[in-house]
Structure formats: C-alpha cells, structure tokens
Amino acid sequence: SEEQAVVVSGRHPLAGSAAEPRVLRGSIVLLREQGSATRTYQEALVNRWQIPDVRTWTLASTSAIVAAVAEGLGISCLPRIVCRDAFALGRVAELAIDPPPPARPVCFVRRTDHHLTRAEEHFLALVTEKCTRE
C-alpha cells in the first residue's frame, strides 16, 4: 500500500498543522488528469471532505502537482513518497485533515506474453522482496 499525504506549500499558514475541511474554504485542489486512477482517488477525497467553495485544477503529472503546491498554487493529496524530497527541503508541508486520506493499494500488473527486460526483472524482484518482508 502507498501512504498518502495532504500537501500544502511550506509557506502556507496551515503548513504542518491540523485543520478541518471547512477551514480550507475556497481552496484550489490540484488533481491529476481525467482517466487517472489517482484523480479518481483525489476526487473521492474532495467529495468526502466537502470543502466549501472548493475549486479544482488539473495537471498532467504528479511532479507538476508537487511543484505547483510548492509555489502556493493549491493543495493536493499525493503519495507521501513522491513528496519526500520536497518535504525535506521545506518546499511543501503536510496538512493533517479529518478524515485522513486512506492508503492506496499498489498493484503490479504484467502481461504473461511479454518478456521482462533486466531492469523490469530487477524491479519486480525488489518489489516482491519488500512485500514479503512486510
């Protein structure tokens, strides 16, 4: 599974604190593109939180969302791991919101008629090893 985090700019007044969804009134929530499983997850959270007067913007990549959040263009919910460097640099910060975003399952899907490259084989071995340890 992949832990998620609600992220705001490191300069956001609520950075590193907890807030109820109503406090985020009028916020811009940055979402992935239509058809993305991440977007479906993000939209479900926005609906669940019922942030008053929320607006959404669409960006085509997770890294673009992290950069936009860091610049103060909006907030988002993203996998904690993809925000790791931005957290360490103070570019983004976590916002604790109730209810918190649930972890998302991560699945590895592969075609049995496709031969894996050496890099893919190595990646699969690493993932398998990590999953069996947990």
134 vs 87, higher pLDDT = 87
Residue with tokens 């239509």: 34
Per the structure block, which two tokens stand in for 66? 């992290």
What confidence tens digit (pLDDT) does each residue in 43-60 have? 999 999 999 999 999 999
| CA-wise closest residue to 97 among 34, 7, 9 | 7
Average pLDDT for 27-54: 94
pLDDT, the chain, mean: 93
Per-residue DSSP letter, 73:
S
Q: How high is the pLDDT of residue 134? A: 66
Confidence label for 113 from pLDDT (cuts 50, 70 and 90)? very high
What confidence tens digit (pLDDT) does each residue in 58-97 have? 999 999 999 999 999 999 999 999 999 999 999 999 999 9
